[in-house]
A and B are shown apart, each in its own frame.
Chain A
Amino acid sequence: MSRIFTLDELSHAGTSRGRVIPSRPIREVPDIDLDIDDLSDSDIDDEKKQETQLQDGVFSDYEILKRALINEEFSPEILEFQDKVIDNLNTLIQDQEAISSVILLIRERKPFGMLLLNDIDRIKYIMEKYLLCRRAKIENQALNILSSPIYKERLSEAELRHAEDYKKLLEDYLKAELGHKLPEDYLEDGVIKTFEIRSDLSKTVFCRVIKPLVPRDSQDTTLKHEPGDVIMDKYIYMRDALEDKSVELI
């Protein structure tokens, strides 16, 4: 029996304890009033160590995922899964949780602990929204995605499993509903395929130019879209520029 995967299972590390429908993070800080002397020096040393352990490379992952989320939302087709970014952010969340649990014990540093908890919630919110957006797209276009090797490669392992399970569910449902009314070969070949939703690559999208870009159909290569320009055109014409990171969808 097929089952629908949770958001945690769709991400690689699966540490996000996400809500199914993301809402804006509002964190209530636990009221902990312990004496500062309760903490040994070794705790503080550990905390400093953890703070320095956070790598600079992690810095832009939150921004990268935010950008990937917006691109995914407005692109009609499934885009490459940001596996490394998701893994890095999961690590970052674990680190932040460890640091904040120590900081929250110190009365004077409580506002900082609160900031760290808010930060964790904000990162989780973006991760959940990204995974949800992809899951909705995968379910909507499951048959199309599974019939294309290019699209299949863009999914994470968990997403691929989910797409296959979802396809099976859909097929079982259709067979149960229509199986007794239609010939077997018609059901296999025709009706199920009728439910295949393809990405509408001619969908109109807005994108902001990041790197100078030669307009399509332009013979003059000196004439370029400049960074900051907003272009509205069919997605198919912007697809290469998006892959090339010359534009971002907005």
Chain B
Amino acid sequence: MPINTEDLRFFAEDELVTIEPFFKEDALRLSGRSFGPFEPPKKLEIPLWAALALKGEKQCKIFSPECLTTEFLENRLELENSIDIYGNKPLSNLPKYFIEFSKILLEKAEDDIENPARVRYLLQKLKEVRENKIERQLNDLDVNGLKMKNLTTSEVHKIRPTFTMSLEGIRKLNGIRKEAPKGPPVRANGMQGIEDLSELREKDNDISLEDYIMELDDTIVYD
């Protein structure tokens, strides 16, 4: 079972958030790590999943994380549109699981987020701007691969099929891969046959430019 968007949400739930507990308790160990002591009104950081569980029991209040404030998002949106010294528009720096983290909080703890409607709007804008910039990177793809700064894990997950297929296609078209064998090789025992499946794969992968572009058109889907 490959890693999917549900797994990314699972990983994002391990990110820390600040809470104010409504109860008194000693430190608690989760995944071998110590959290607490819980002493209201003292704030402390705990994993998001634990904060949501305690919130469900009405045992804490979650504080809006800095990355979900309108100031932070407006600042990031501004940075997305700024031009660096090389004349490029680089992606701004966001937490690794920013997209999943923000989605979970807006779904399950909207009442703890300040100005959630505005936050949603800014998140959508930020997402669109970044997606456009990332899609444009496809033009810069060459046989040497690609290097990008500040991609979130979710963005990598989204572009993976298209970018991987494009890169492998470019490499094939540039003759980077070894030419496929022109028939079954002769084995040591004199019998004809295919030595291993990788040779078969190489042969199957020999596609024409037209076929490749048609295949690519069918594959690129941005939701």
Contacts and interface: CB of A to CB of B under 8 A. Distances in A.
Q: Are A and B bound to each other? A: yes
Interface of B: 1-3, 6-7, 10-11, 14, 23, 25-26, 28-33, 49-50, 53-54, 57, 59, 93, 144-151, 153, 156, 160, 163-164, 167-168, 177, 187, 189, 191, 193-198, 201
Contact of A230 (B25, B147, B191, B198): B147
B166 to A, nearest CB: 9
Interface stretch (A4-12, A51-59, A149-157, A165-173): A51-59
28 contacts: A22-B1, A24-B6, A55-B32, A62-B32, A66-B11, A69-B3, A111-B53, A111-B59, A119-B31, A133-B1, A185-B189, A189-B189, A193-B196, A194-B193, A196-B197, A206-B156, A206-B160, A228-B149, A228-B150, A229-B147, A230-B149, A230-B150, A230-B156, A232-B145, A232-B146, A232-B164, A233-B145, A233-B146
A92 B32 contact: yes
**Most B CB within 10 A of own CB, among A119, A190, A231:** A119
B75 to A, nearest CB: 18
Given A22-B1, A73-B2, A129-B1, A112 B25 contact: yes
A54 B32 contact: yes
A176 interface: no
Interface string A88-117: 000010001000000000000101101110
Interface string A4-42: 000000000000000001101000000000000000000
A204 B168 contact: yes
A122 interface: yes
Indicate the member of A22, A51, A115, A229 with the most B CB atoms within 10 Å.
Answer: A115
A70 interface: yes
A123 interface: yes
B3 A115 contact: no
A197 B54 contact: no
A180 B193 CA distance: 19
Nearest to A207: B156
B1 A132 contact: yes
B37 to A, nearest CB: 12
